[in-house]
Structure 1
Amino acid sequence: MRTFTSLLALLLCTAVRAATSGTADVDAMMKAYQGDVPGASLLVIKDGKAVVRRSYGLANLESHEAATPATNYRLASVSKQFTAAGILLLSERGKLSLDDRVRRWLPELNATHDAITIRQLLDHSGGLIDYEDLMPTDTTEQISDAGVLKLLAAEPRAYFAPGTSYRYSNGGYVLLGLIIERASGQALPDFLRQNIFQPLGMTHTLLYQRGGPDVPNRAYGYSDENGHWLRTDQSTTSATRGDGGIYSSIDDMAKWDAALYDHRLLSDASRNAAFSAQNKVTGEEDVDGYGFGWRIHGDVRWHSGETMGFRNVIIRWPKQHLTVVMLTNRNDPEPYRTALAIGQQFLGAKP
């Protein structure tokens, strides 16, 4: 008959083997990011605790700097959820209404777009022409938010009447960033820092712009060119802000995730609106609808971010209190499927 001590030892050994096996599974899934290559930082949060918090590969190939959980990656379109949160905060404070016409705040916008509302920019139902398609083909200088507004101010066409369809719009979120500035009276980086990042303790997260504070612990972006990694950290569209300019780490993203479960930042009504399908999406895999800065797929809330040299994703299963954040400083592979598979290891079932 086994003694209590021997049974306890057996249980402890079993737990250690299970934890080691789970860790090995995750490491195997992240094999492409290991070694002297552009890397990744991975966070898995279950029931409020980080069950995986690790980094792979390099943040800077030239200086051979390893990626760490404190490494800051350019979030690209994962930034949109922060821009949306800024708009929702201003709405809660009575500084604007989601149903305001966009031209109330940006009268420069072409008069043919007078019917577009802030809400329609948030859920991608505004119908604005993609500003990248309006940029001259010989553009070499980075376009600014003001430059995007200037292009759209000169463009009378639209893809569809506002509120009648869905088309993902980076330009719409650039405009939302400008609206935050005009409604708050603050520069966008200052507003986000003072109203979102600092209150949540995201002390190393920032909206980067040239001439502003440097990015601490910065990862640089790379692209695979014929089997060689080349630094491709900036493009002509890398200076726009509301659609993708934030840098953050998995450590700070853990604080962001925690705030999405309670009212420490946003009210219940605002969070429910952000996480509800405000616009129906068809023809896209794993996307049924779009909220405010979030893609909706069944019980899953997620968003990806891709820009020159960076590919990222956050996937949340709120009912199961599970989140996976994967940030990478390379153009390939796309991280969504890997992050989804890692999440399912802890979920126990497919979403």
Structure 2
Amino acid sequence: MQSTAERVDSMMAAYDGPVPGAALLVLRDGVPVVRKGYGLADLERGIAVGPDTNFRLASVSKQFTVAAILLLAQDGALSLDDPVRRWLPSLPPSADAITLHHLLTHTSGLVDYEDVMPDAIDGQLRDADVLRLLEAQDRLYFAPGSGYRYSNSGYALLALVVGQASEQDLATFLRERIFKPLGMDGTLAFEDGISTVSRRAYGYSAAGDGWTRTDQSSTSAVLGDGGLYSSIDDLAKWDAALRDDRLLSHASRALAFTAHTATDEADVDGYGYGWRLHGEGADRLVWHSGETIGFRNVILRWPERGLTVVLLTNRNDPEPYGLARRIAEEFLAQEFAPGQT
């Protein structure tokens, strides 16, 4: 009979060997019970994935943008009910009724910047470029607060609000207020030409019988919606900070993990602040995925059961949510079979 470790390795087999890989973390009450790399972070140089390999998080980054806003709210530097135009007055009049709360919960109705960006751009878009695109869009998909539509635009604007309210850019604020205090030494909001990702995983996509590097796109430099790099070792420290008051107050964490709006997404009963929510009571799951060219990631947390699963991958397909759920079931089932190994 296979052990739990052998079953997990079997489930992760597609990521092992000379292929774009993955890093897997399973925490039980904050203690790693799986902490392992599979496959390669850099195919061209044959560098293996390890627990300290830094992957582009894509939309898993959003929870850190949220944390920055909540810290500034704790500081009294802003209010979640602030109109976004208080901080970004160049937005058109259609944005008058949009608050920071609407941006956090994807209920703003803002136009998706990906839908209005030029077909060809010189270099990469940044958060400030998103603002310039939205300045020309005096329209919304719906009245603020009346609907839900997942919005990268909203999180790019939140990054700029952090800059305005803190008088620091988002990358600096995150480094000084979150990453340094938590000892997340390899985590950063990556800015090409300004910062360097240590122990970096590069993104790939399948091409015929092999792989081609697809590490960056024209939107990869937008930080607020998905521009962070981190490792499973650093995300273990982040998970620990979500369990107590060392960074965010109980009230702030409750706001993040409360369903503020319903959604029509699978396995999502509601959206909080940078987290998707599913189930109730002991089965309550708070989670988020992150998908961008060359990377597919997911973090799953069952707070009442003390279980966290983080799966980071540097390939364009498949999305790892289902695999992470299957791995989680191995450990959730052990609560009812304590003799299992």
Q: TM-score range by the shorter chain?
A: over 0.9
Residue 297 (str. 1) matches residue 278 (str. 2): yes
Superposed, which structure 2 residues align to 1:187-336 within 5 Å?
Answer: 187-282=169-264, 284-298=265-279, 299-336=284-321
Select the residue among 83, 102, 123 that pairs with 1:141: 123
DSSP-derived class of the 2:162 partner: helix
| 2:14 corresponds to | 32
Q: Calculate the aligned-residue CA RMSD, in Å.
A: 1.2
Select the residue among 102, 117, 130 that pairs with 2:112: 130
Distance in 2 separating the partners of 1:183 and 1:107: 13
DSSP-derived class of the 1:59 partner: strand
Q: How far does residue 226 in structure 1 lie from its aligned partner after superposition?
A: 2.2
| 2:43 corresponds to | 61
Deviations 1:8-44 (A, max 9, x none): xxxxxxxxx8xx7100000011011010000000000
Distance in 2 separating the partners of 1:322 and 1:81: 18
Distance in 2 separating the partners of 1:181 and 1:279: 27
Distance in 1 separating the partners of 2:42 and 2:28: 30
Q: How far does residue 349 in structure 1 lie from its aligned partner after superposition?
A: 8.5
Select the residue among 73, 77, 85 that pairs with 1:91: 73
Q: How far does residue 122 in structure 1 lie from its aligned partner after superposition?
A: 0.2
Distance in 1 separating the partners of 2:210 and 2:133: 36
Distance in 1 separating the partners of 2:128 and 2:317: 31
| 1:168 corresponds to | 150
Deviations 1:262-305 (A, max 9, x none): 100000000001001011112x1101110000001110000000
Of stretches 77-86 and 108-117 in structure 1, the one that deviates more from structure 2 is 108-117
Change over 3 Å in CA distance of 1:156–1:349 after alignment to 2: farther
Residue 109 (str. 1) matches residue 87 (str. 2): no
Distance in 2 separating the partners of 1:211 and 1:107: 29
Distance in 2 separating the partners of 1:115 and 1:49: 44
Q: How far does residue 140 in structure 1 lie from its aligned partner after superposition?
A: 5.1
| 1:153 corresponds to | 135
Residue 342 (str. 1) matches residue 327 (str. 2): yes
Q: How far does residue 139 in structure 1 lie from its aligned partner after superposition?
A: 3.1
Distance in 2 separating the partners of 1:126 and 1:87: 16
DSSP-derived class of the 1:138 partner: coil
Residue 47 (str. 1) matches residue 32 (str. 2): no
DSSP-derived class of the 2:175 partner: helix
Distance in 1 separating the partners of 2:179 and 2:260: 26
Query: Which amino acid in the other structure matches residue 269 of structure 2?
Result: D
Q: How far does residue 212 in structure 1 lie from its aligned partner after superposition?
A: 1.4
DSSP-derived class of the 1:78 partner: helix
| 1:14 corresponds to | none
Query: Which amino acid in the other structure matches residue 172 of structure 1?
Result: G
DSSP-derived class of the 2:138 partner: coil
Query: Which amino acid in the other structure matches residue 104 of structure 2?
Result: L
| 2:339 corresponds to | none
Deviations 1:121-164 (A, max 9, x none): 00000000110000112335311111100010100121100001
Distance in 1 separating the partners of 2:67 and 2:261: 17
Identity across the alignment (%)? 61
Distance in 2 separating the partners of 1:280 and 1:228: 41
DSSP-derived class of the 1:293 partner: coil
| 2:338 corresponds to | none
DSSP-derived class of the 1:43 partner: strand
Distance in 1 separating the partners of 2:90 and 2:223: 19
DSSP-derived class of the 1:161 partner: coil
DSSP-derived class of the 2:244 partner: coil
Deviations 1:175-208 (A, max 9, x none): 0000000000011111000000111111110110
DSSP-derived class of the 2:3 partner: helix
The structure 1 segments of at least 4 consecutive aligned residues displaced by more than 3 Å after TM superposition are none
Aligned residues: 331
Query: Which amino acid in the other structure matches residue 248 of structure 1?
Result: S
Distance in 2 separating the partners of 1:306 and 1:193: 23
